[in-house]
Amino acid sequence: MRQIGRTKGKSTLGKDSIVVGFSLFAMFFGAGNLIFPPTLGQLSGDLWARGLVGFLLVDAVLSCLGVFVVSRLGGPRGAFDGTLGKIGGTILTTVAILCLCVVFAMPRTAATTFELSVAPYLGEDANSFLVPFSILFFVIVYLLTCRKSRVVDIIGKFFTPTLLVGVLVLIVAGIVAPIGEIQPPQTDYVFQEGIRSGYQTMDVLGVAAFSIIILDSAVVKGYTDPGRSSALLARASIGAVVMLGLVYGGLTYLGATSVSLGTGMSQVGLLVAIVESVLGDAGKILLSAIVALACVTTAVALVSSAADFFSRLFKNKISYQALLIIDCVIGALICDIGLDNIIRFADPVLGVVYPPFITVVVFLIFRKQIKRREVYQGAALGALVGGVVVELAVTNVAIIVPLEMLPLSSMGFGWIVFALMGTLVGMMVGLTRRRISCTRSA
């Protein structure tokens, strides 16, 4: 394998980078991400590009950079165990993958496909078809993931090009024949709105799961040399950011031209209205196909990475194939409760889990400057406490701190002040331990 890795030529590296980059794009471009840019564009008006920059920084750039950094450190176990300790790292990674891959996001992909791509064509009795649909959906996902080494190629070579063509048809049609005139922004805080929308995608949670697949793909393709592997990962990450930027940019522009369709619509309602305005009845079929492709590619990545992670966690005592079946069965069962219920149960849990995870990912990007483990631990614990406080305040279970008193709470970042306090505590603990160690060695 090492010899193969050393002899890979530039042309092969380029082709592999495109395939892996396409796969990474499709993994992050879930159907849920379709709905955020149009709404952001409508709110941002003629400043839509400014809102787009904020969205991309917190979503595409941070997510892909996170995958690159975590992959460089040997995957989620190497990255998070090395900064939070074995117990803390394992807990954070396990909870993130459970929430993203097994309990919430994976069944949500199936439920979303049913709601947007299937139910509209089944009439009033559509819900009676949810159970057989969920079974069929996860049978397809299992068949696409049963060969672990082929997952990235299946997504990158087949699904992504088709998905891109569908999205680009919609965007180009909307550019050639704009829906209406772009109006002034409806908010005074366009850039901040972009940041808030990017955060709401919660794509950074995918860093743990998707880095597993990307890293395995690099090894399978023969990139065992650290230098060559880094080159592949860097090119693929940059390519994914560029593709996400182009697609999100196009969707944001369409949203900016859509004020004439009406304001105040739901995010899904606005997306459907835009598609119908641009492409007519044919647009409904295209949107159904786009949603289905986006959901299947994301589900394939989530199921495969979850099975791979837990197989390694249990030291292969439970096989990858067995875990695939378990994950798919769980996904089908949870899907059957319906999309609205999945979202209702997921929101408060993800609101608690996401802050510590995104905090650690951001800190990992600056790992050369942040070296003390106590800083990572303090920041993660502070963000976790902040997430709990914010969710309790939002759900009115208990009001420990009035939400409006927390800085940045209006943007969804009320937990940051707790993360900063945890960081300071971690720094002080680290310095104290260092002084004690120096005193003992003197």
Question: Residue 120 maps to which CATH number?
Answer: 1.20.1740.10
Both 408 and 287 in one domain: the answer is no
The highest-confidence range among 128-132, 232-236, 252-256, by mean pLDDT, is: 252-256
Both 359 and 332 in one domain: the answer is no
Whether the Cβ atoms of residue 412 and residue 197 lie closer than 8 Å to each other: no
Both 85 and 130 in one domain: the answer is yes
Both 330 and 366 in one domain: the answer is no
Both 250 and 318 in one domain: the answer is yes
- Name the nearest CA neighbour of 137 among 284, 337, 347, 336: 336
Residue of 275 and 347 predicted with greater confidence: 275
pLDDT at residue 410 tops 80: no
Domain assignment present for residue 341? The answer is no
- Name the nearest CA neighbour of 274 among 351, 197, 344, 173: 173
Domain assignment present for residue 76? The answer is yes
Task: Choose one of 284, 304, 336: the last residue of a domain.
Answer: 336
- Tokens 């909307």 belong to residue: 174
Domain assignment present for residue 45? The answer is yes
| pLDDT tens digits along 348-384 | 888 888 899 999 999 998 988 888 889 999 999 999 9
Both 199 and 295 in one domain: the answer is yes
Both 330 and 389 in one domain: the answer is no
Length of the chain: 442
Whole-prediction pTM: 0.86
* pLDDT value, residue 396: 66
| pLDDT tens digits along 278-321 | 999 888 899 999 989 988 998 998 999 999 999 988 888 999 99
| pLDDT tens digits along 221-236 | 888 777 888 889 999 9
- Rounded distance between C-alpha atoms, residue 335 and residue 295, angstroms: 13
Both 300 and 194 in one domain: the answer is yes
With the CA atoms of 285, 291, 294 and 295 taken in that order, what torsion angle do they form, in degrees rounded to the nearest 10?
Answer: -130
- Rounded distance between C-alpha atoms, residue 114 and residue 136, angstroms: 11
Whether the Cβ atoms of residue 23 and residue 156 lie closer than 8 Å to each other: yes
Domain assignment present for residue 182? The answer is yes
Both 330 and 364 in one domain: the answer is no
Type and span of the H or E element at 73 = none
Both 363 and 332 in one domain: the answer is no
What are the helix and strand counts (H, E) for the chain? 19, 0
The whole domain housing 208 covers 2-336
- Tokens 């067995």 belong to residue: 322
The structure tokens listed for 432 are 């104290």
Task: Choose one of 336, 366, 391: the last residue of a domain.
Answer: 336
Both 316 and 382 in one domain: the answer is no
Total structural domains within the chain: 2
Both 238 and 383 in one domain: the answer is no
Q: Per-residue pLDDT averaged across 160-180, rounded? A: 92
Other beta carbons less than 10 A from residue 180's beta carbon: 12
Domain assignment present for residue 345? The answer is no
Domain assignment present for residue 343? The answer is no
